[in-house]
Structure 1
Amino acid sequence: MSFNNTIRIAIELSVSSWLVAVRTPGGSEKARLHRIEGGESAALLALITSVRTRESAKSGHSDIGVACCFEAGRDGFWLHRLLTAHGVDAYVLEPTSILVNRRARRAKTDRLDAEGMLRVLAAWLAGDRQVCSMVRVPTPEEEDAKRPHRERERLVQEKQRIENTIEALLFTQGIRGRPSLRSWERDVEALQTADGRPLPPLLRAEIDRLRRRLVLALEQIREVEAERTARQAATFDDTIVQKISALQRIRGIGENFSAVLVREVLYRPFDNRRQLASYVGIAPMPYQSGSMVRDRHIGRAGNPRARTTLIQLAWLWLRYQPGSALAAWFRERVGTLQGRTRRIAIVAMARKLLIALWRYVETGLLPDGVEIKAQADTMA
């Protein structure tokens, strides 16, 4: 598709309405704006068809192309797939990668945003790959495969919130700790406030309702985990599932950590280790000015879920893989230091661990000194 023979379209998405900015090849520099109701994909396709037909008739060419862009956000990727299926070259912009005016106070409207995206799209189509970052759109299957561990994460957070609420309510009465779910009725019956009174009836009713929500959350967590295990067993020949199984062979990496790392990160190809670390957001940001050359703090522009999981795994790695080369590197680097130095070092170790695990699932090369689980533990 020729850049000079392409209709460029930018869509500013919102819940109530979509603002569509159109710039035609050879037309004026001022974009034509169209506002349609939010989510009306049929109206958007009709508008694109109308603009393409009009430009084909005006130029006498039937090969008029259409390139469309919008920012990644709440709408997900369904619009990208719809436009692609209708012959439109669709691009999803990473919003934080777009350069903006650095003034402390700047105008911000849907029109300005849409026109700004048009300029970015034009530069990208002209060959400037540094003007912004484009999101790699996952396939529907890849996107759907992320649901189990993301749902489990939300359920675990809900479980923790309920437990903390129960403890906080009991703490207001001078009671520390919470009753066990195994013996809830007996434990609640025996509870007394710190000043010797029985538990107030309305408070007891509220805590009992929280208990029922807690039991439901625990049941749903077990249900999600069972479904995930059954699905992996049914698709064992799948390449992604084999990567998950390979990670689970390593001592200290469980079913959830392996699923998050593979489904969020290692399912897609990377050209080099810095690209991999940047995707997760644990690559240091370079700083060079004159004679000063150094690395600053990590970017944090990547996948926050994968970054959190990886740092948690790095702490567990020190416990379950003390004889590995990575654990030895950490001990040599940190020694007995505590606090901020230790937290900075664990991020550096997490980056090294990610690269080592990436090489392992891609080539089968185990990191130095790593212990493998026994066959019985792996099957469990």
Structure 2
Amino acid sequence: MSIIVNKTVEPATIRTDLGAIFVSLELSRSLWLITSLSPGAGEKMSKHSVLGGDLTGLFERLKGLQEKVQTRTGQKYPVVVIQEAGLDGFWIHRALLTEGIESHVVDPASIATSRRRRRAKTDKIDGEALVRALLAYKRGEPRVCAMVRVPTPEEEDRRRLSRERKALTNERVRHVNRIKGLLFGQGVSGYEPLRRDRRQRLEELRTGDNRILPAHLKAQIGRELDRLELLLDQIKKVEGERAEVVASIQTISPVPGLLLGLKGIGEEFASILWLECLYRHFDNRRQVAAYAGLAPTPWQSGSTDHEQGVSKSGNPRLRTMLIQLAWLWLRHQPDSALAQWFRERIKANGGRLKKTTIVALARKLLVALWKYVTAGVVIEGAVTNTASR
């Protein structure tokens, strides 16, 4: 007598019953290419285009796809859209969500591509690749691509202050260097355009062969100082607005206050840490390091096993700031466990590889700060501003 055992059928992890119209958008200034794969059309992908920026035309095209599928199959299917993160920002994604359309924004660098030396690349090929990536993502295939967590309009707007200050600061450096370069060509050194008496000192300058500054050169430097003073005024205004934003954030989140409480972290670093990173949710330390582009990238194949350095695939502004903060951490927190780890590592390497080790310290510091503000894990040996007084 045979015994029949009824096995419980568990749902599969990877879904295959995806009833939807899958659409990818290849965006440019002049044209939007719409690539779609619809139920009942086999494996054939259709392609349409609308003028760049024509949101109404895009909605009409998506509606037309739904009507065509409904006529063919007798059912109405939802539309799922994917687009790459790029210069167009997130306004199209938000407009799609407002219309009740499921939308995804993908990191373009996370989509696998052919490794041929001369691979073909067109908008048509890219559109089809996006559709295939969306299908795999909706089926639940792991690590097929990385979808972007789209910030809210308020979060996106708050980040503009720190980014604008960085742009203004870079422009200030260019003007200062230009003024110094013009004077150096006349044998003049030691002039500091950022000093408050810059106009008075300009009148007193003499060339290397003891002549007064040429009239046109002096006028050019004067115009450079006009632009420099305008930049200084704008930087001051942006810093004032940033202080107001940080103060308003502290009423809803303790994170900026916790960061400012650590010695060596001022308003600039605290605002960038919060606005660029720590306002988000991360599941583990690996995700934190990966978001900053500080995660290691191993290369293993057979007997070959070596490190390629950090991935640099994350937020470049955050990564740059963390490297600067790591150097300042060594100065202001010399007795912390992280600073001691750095010194011991450098000593073991005979005083070499400081730049490589400071990147590792930046990664450790970011993870430690994330644990500090989210779980209350105190950074070992760190000194607070209150304790240093």
The separation in 2 between residues aligned to 1:52 and 1:251, in whole angstroms, is 59
Q: How does 1:75-224 map to 2 (within 5 A)?
A: 75-180=88-193, 181-224=195-238
| Deviation by residue 1:336-359 (Cα, 9 ceiling, x = unmatched) | 968861111111111111111001
Question: What's the TM-score once normalised by structure 1's chain length?
Answer: 0.93
The code of the aligned residue for 1:94 comes to D
Tell me, what secondary structure is at the counterpart of 2:145? coil
* Cross-structure match for 2:245: 231
Change (3 A) 1:339 1:94: farther
Deviates more, 1:1-10 or 1:256-265: 1-10
Q: How does 1:211-360 map to 2 (within 5 A)?
A: 211-239=225-253, 242-335=254-347, 341-360=353-372
Change (3 A) 1:219 1:3: farther
| Deviation by residue 1:145-192 (Cα, 9 ceiling, x = unmatched) | 111111111111111111011111111111113355422332111112
Structure 1: gaps spanning 5 or more residues: none
1:3 shift after superposition: 4.8
Q: Does 1:19 align with 2:33?
A: yes
Cα RMSD, aligned residues only: 2.0
The separation in 2 between residues aligned to 1:35 and 1:326, in whole angstroms, is 54
The separation in 1 between residues aligned to 2:239 and 2:81, in whole angstroms, is 39
Deviates more, 1:344-353 or 1:120-129: 120-129
Deviates more, 1:223-232 or 1:157-166: 223-232
1:293 shift after superposition: 4.5
* Cross-structure match for 2:65: 51
Structure 2: gaps spanning 5 or more residues: 1-14
* Cross-structure match for 2:11: none
The code of the aligned residue for 2:311 comes to G
Q: Contact conserved, 2:82 with 2:104, CA < 8 A, in 1?
A: yes
Change (3 A) 1:204 1:291: same
Tell me, what secondary structure is at the counterpart of 1:26? coil
* Cross-structure match for 2:12: none
Q: Contact conserved, 1:282 with 1:351, CA < 8 A, in 2?
A: yes
Change (3 A) 1:22 1:340: farther
Q: Contact conserved, 1:84 with 1:90, CA < 8 A, in 2?
A: yes
The separation in 1 between residues aligned to 2:249 and 2:326, in whole angstroms, is 29
Tell me, what secondary structure is at the counterpart of 1:353? helix
Tell me, what secondary structure is at the counterpart of 2:380? coil
The separation in 2 between residues aligned to 1:179 and 1:349, in whole angstroms, is 34
The separation in 2 between residues aligned to 1:352 and 1:298, in whole angstroms, is 13
The code of the aligned residue for 1:103 comes to R
The separation in 1 between residues aligned to 2:132 and 2:331, in whole angstroms, is 51
1:375 shift after superposition: 8.4
Tell me, what secondary structure is at the counterpart of 1:114? helix
Q: Contact conserved, 1:314 with 1:346, CA < 8 A, in 2?
A: yes
Q: Contact conserved, 1:3 with 1:125, CA < 8 A, in 2?
A: no
Question: What's the TM-score once normalised by structure 2's chain length?
Answer: 0.91
Q: How many pairs does the alignment contain?
A: 374
The separation in 2 between residues aligned to 1:26 and 1:344, in whole angstroms, is 55
The separation in 2 between residues aligned to 1:346 and 1:159, in whole angstroms, is 27
Deviates more, 1:319-328 or 1:287-296: 287-296
Tell me, what secondary structure is at the counterpart of 2:18? helix
Q: How does 1:69-80 map to 2 (within 5 A)?
A: 69-80=82-93
The code of the aligned residue for 2:148 comes to V
Deviates more, 1:266-275 or 1:187-196: 187-196
Q: Contact conserved, 2:249 with 2:256, CA < 8 A, in 1?
A: no
Q: Contact conserved, 1:71 with 1:95, CA < 8 A, in 2?
A: yes
Tell me, what secondary structure is at the counterpart of 1:4? coil
Tell me, what secondary structure is at the counterpart of 2:250? coil
Identity of aligned residues (%): 45
| Deviation by residue 1:2-31 (Cα, 9 ceiling, x = unmatched) | 853211111111111111112111214232
Q: Contact conserved, 1:22 with 1:31, CA < 8 A, in 2?
A: yes
1:376 shift after superposition: 11
The separation in 1 between residues aligned to 2:192 and 2:249, in whole angstroms, is 41
1:365 to 369, 377, 389: 377
| Deviation by residue 1:186-237 (Cα, 9 ceiling, x = unmatched) | 2111112212222111111111111011111111111111112123324432
The separation in 2 between residues aligned to 1:235 and 1:170, in whole angstroms, is 45
The separation in 2 between residues aligned to 1:71 and 1:364, in whole angstroms, is 36
